[in-house]
Homo-oligomer: A and B are copies of this chain.
Amino acid sequence: MSLIVQKFGGSSVADAASVKRVARRIVDTKLAGNEVVVVVSAMGDMTDELLDLANQVSSNPPAREMDMLLTSGERISMAVLAMAIADLGEDARSYTGSQAGLITDAAHGAARIIDVTPSRIQEALAAGAIPIVAGFQGVAFDTKDITTLGRGGSDTTAVALAAALKASVCEIYTDVDGIFSADPRIVPAARRVPFVTYEEMLELSAVGAKVLHLRCVEYARRFNVPIHVRSSFSQLDGTFVVSPEVIATAIAEGKAMEQPIISGVASDVNDAKITVVGVPDKPGEAAAIFRALADASINIDMIVQNISAAATGRTDVSFTCPVGTSKKALEALESKRSAIGFENLIIDDQVAKVSLVGAGMRSHPGVSADFFTALADADINVEMISTSEIRISVVTRVDDAKRAVQALHTAFGLDADGEAVVYGGSGR
């Protein structure tokens, strides 16, 4: 008998009809001979409505109370889902994050899981019941206050429970069929990717693929929890996010095709480019800039420093950061203008980041050349570049991003009617 953790997001339980459909699916999994643990998010727009309410009564709601408020959303969805399952004749029991043993630190709004002690969940399973656990929430070890895990928190709850219960798989249900080689709204020929490694998924999540949140994938990689991202509207397999070893085994057993070098192309228009103009070209200046930004908790992505103009002894430093934090970044730098001695600040929010991700890059040195050739052929100007072992990202004009993604998708043979560039699983 397999133990399966199934996580359903807010769109999967948006109304009574959806809840009943999800309940049917859960019961079918149970009746097929599995043990099932369910993690559920708040229904539909519930979280947004609660945020609205908070903002109506307070200009600066305390984080502890915000967590108390927001966690009511899952309390509703899990109880209603348990009722719908009971209506189908199975015993279902809902548990808050606290009751399910999700122990966190006390960082309200972005708490980290420090332990998972799911004894009540195990008792429910032993009694033949289906435990329904509230996603996104836990209880602080020190204060016993209710906490939330921040963005993507319900996925993290599911993976953490799957790890603690040694589940055979953590199924993340969503409204798409899995991970795609590109956003199908940009590339209609995008194809579903049957397998990706944790590493590739981390890179994809970091560069704009919205399906799984970074923390959830990190947690899964750390505890080697197989994730299956799939649609709650279909019975088809989606995308398995697993270790390279699992993929190699699947290929050896004929359960997976050979893997393409490139898993996918992603774009992200949520960054802004800030240029610090006329920075004195001497040691310590860049450090002063990035210390000021770090002190203001600004996450920096790419950085470029121009070659110094010998005549002036000054240089320009550009970096990207999330658009939402760009105002704070400007303020942080402005407050250090005289100390750093720069001349001006320029913000540019008409930029996009376009990224290519694939574990096969490691063993295929030609990928970079093909990447830049494809962009050049499409007449797309590259403003900044950053790379990891399995990713190349560039900053382009926002108006060029769509064409860049399409050009790369085609060039690397990812189009569904094309011929993907593949490599053998044995080399990974």
Contact = CB atoms under 8 A, between A and B. Distances in A.
Contact of A62 (B65, B86, B120): B86
Interface of A: 16, 19-20, 23, 50, 53-54, 56-62, 64-66, 68-69, 71-73, 75-76, 78-84, 86-87, 92-94, 99, 120, 144
Contact of A75 (B57, B62, B69, B94): B69
A79 B56 contact: no
Given A16-B53, A94-B65, A99-B144, A58 B83 contact: yes
Nearest to A16: B56
A179 B261 CA distance: 78
A82 to B, nearest CB: 4
Given A68-B75, A79-B69, A82-B62, A57 B99 contact: no
A373 B54 CA distance: 58
B54 A80 contact: yes
A59 B84 CA distance: 9
Contacts of A144: 99, 120
B53 A76 contact: yes
A64 B75 CA distance: 13
Contacts of A84: 57-58
A305 to B, nearest CB: 45
6 contacts: A50-B76, A61-B83, A65-B92, A68-B79, A68-B94, A72-B79
Nearest to A50: B76
Given A23-B57, A57-B16, A72 B76 contact: yes
